[in-house]
Amino acid sequence: MKILGVDPGTATTGWAILSSKTPAVSDQPEKKKKSAPNGLALNLESYGCIVTEPGEEMPKRLLILNRSLRKIIKEKRPDCLSLERIFFGANSKTAITVGQARGVIMLTAAAEKVPVFEYQGLQVKQHLTKYGRASKIDVQKAVIKILNIKKIDTPEDQNGKLRKAFLDDSVDAIALAIFHTLR
């Protein structure tokens, strides 16, 4: 199964493609192969971020998100999309703009016939780190451990530009894809 994890936003949307499979006995090397907690072999295929400029009009930013996500879906062909369900207490402006991004993401997935599954950030953090209010660094450490990788490199945006400042968005997208697989 191939999962597209998406951390929504109008300024930055993180995304990740994770594949999972049940390893065959013949796939196991002589040393015990590390697998995810549920026994699945997880492979982080790709990840990145979709970045829009703050000075752009909102319709243009949403169009960039739509076109970039559609390109990812067409190229990577995920079986489903794991999307963060955002909870905002008092910040209604942020809630509205993230809600607009989520709407574009869901519409794009529906147009490409990709089912969408939504999860609260708290439940993802709780499952991966055992603490629902885990820090970004704790989530990153958990993702690295679960995937059995050394580190997560700086993500690229939709134009191929390295975007170190948006590593957390990509890590959150990876965490969403892992959570969907392990839940």
**CATH code (residue 29):** 3.30.420.10
Over residues 57-70, the pLDDT tens digits come to 999 999 999 999 99
Annotated binding site for Mg(2+): 7, 84, 169
Q: Of residues 53, 79, 138, 169, which has the active-site annotation?
A: 169
Containing domain of residue 74, as a range?
2-182
How far lies 97's CA from each of 7, 20, 26, 67, in Å? 13, 32, 49, 18
pLDDT at 32 over 80: no
Instruction: Over range 54-58, report the average pLDDT.
Output: 95
Annotated binding site: 7, 84, 169
pLDDT confidence tier of residue 37, bands split at 50, 70 and 90: low
Residue 169 is among the residues annotated as catalytic for this protein: yes
CA atoms within 13 A on the CB side of 121: 15
Q: Of residues 7, 45, 118, 157, which has the active-site annotation?
A: 7
Distance CA 88, CA 69 (A): 24
Q: Give residue 179's Cα distance to chain centre.
A: 10
Distance CA 112, CA 122 (A): 28
Q: Of residues 84, 138, 153, 168, which has the active-site annotation?
A: 84
DSSP string, 135-180: -HHHHHHHHHHHHT-S--PPPB-TTS-B-GGGHHHHHHHHHHHHHH
Helix (H, G, I), strand (E, B) or coil at 18: strand
Distance CA 99, CA 140 (A): 25
Over residues 91-134, the pLDDT tens digits come to 788 889 999 999 999 999 999 999 999 999 999 999 999 998 99
Residue 7 is among the residues annotated as catalytic for this protein: yes
Greater pLDDT, 63 or 32: 63
Count of domains forming the chain? 1
